[in-house]
Structure 1
Amino acid sequence: MPSLIDETVFGEPSRGLGLVYLCGALLLAGQQGYYVIVEGATPFYAELLLSAGMALSGIAESLPKPRRRAAGVLRLTALVVVVSMLVILLVTPELLID
C-alpha cells in the first residue's frame, strides 16, 4: 500500500498546476525587478526565494509523466527552499528583509 507522501511527492505531474506555478514565479520576479530597477528599492530576498520555490515546483509539474522521480526531487527541493526561507525569517529576519 503506497503512502500518502509517496503519492503526493512522487505522483504524476499536473500540467495545469505547473503553468500556475510558473506564471506565479514569473509574476513575483517581474514585480521584484520593477521595484528594484524602476523604483530604486532594495531587493526583498524573501520574495526571490519564494519565486525560486514556485519556479522549481512549476518545472516539476511540467515534466512528462514518466519522470515522476525527477519531479519528486524538484518538489522536495522547492519545499526545502520555502521552508528555509520561513526559518530564516523567524530566526534572523534582517538577512532577508534588509
Structure 2
Amino acid sequence: MVYVVEMDVNIPETWSDEKLADVIAREKECSQKWQNSGKWKYLWRVAGKFSNISVLEVESPEELHQIISSLPLFPYMTIKVTSVCKHPNALRETIL
C-alpha cells in the first residue's frame, strides 16, 4: 500500500533551544532509519514551512501508523494521509 503523508509540525513555544535541538536530532535519526528500511520512499520539505510531504510504501494501515507514531515529533504534528494507487493511464508502473 502506498500513502502520501503530509506532516505539519507545531513546536510548543515553551521549548528551550536545547530541547528543540535534541528532539530534531532524534527525529532525524528515526526518519532516516525508516528511509533506510525502504518503507519511507520520499521525503520533501514544504518550502517556507515546518512541514513535509512523504511517500511511504507499507504492508498495512497499521504499519503506517507504527512508523508515523514512532517519530519523536508525532505528538506535535497535524497529519493528513492519502492512500494512492497506480492510475490506469500512467505510463510508468510506479514512481517508487
TM score, norm. by length of structure 2? 0.33
Q: Which structure is higher in RCO with an 8 Å CA cutoff and minimum separation 6?
A: 2
Give the helix-richer structure, 1 or 2.
1
Give the strand-richer structure, 1 or 2.
2
Q: Tell which structure's C-alpha radius of gyration is larger.
A: 1
TM score, norm. by length of structure 1? 0.32
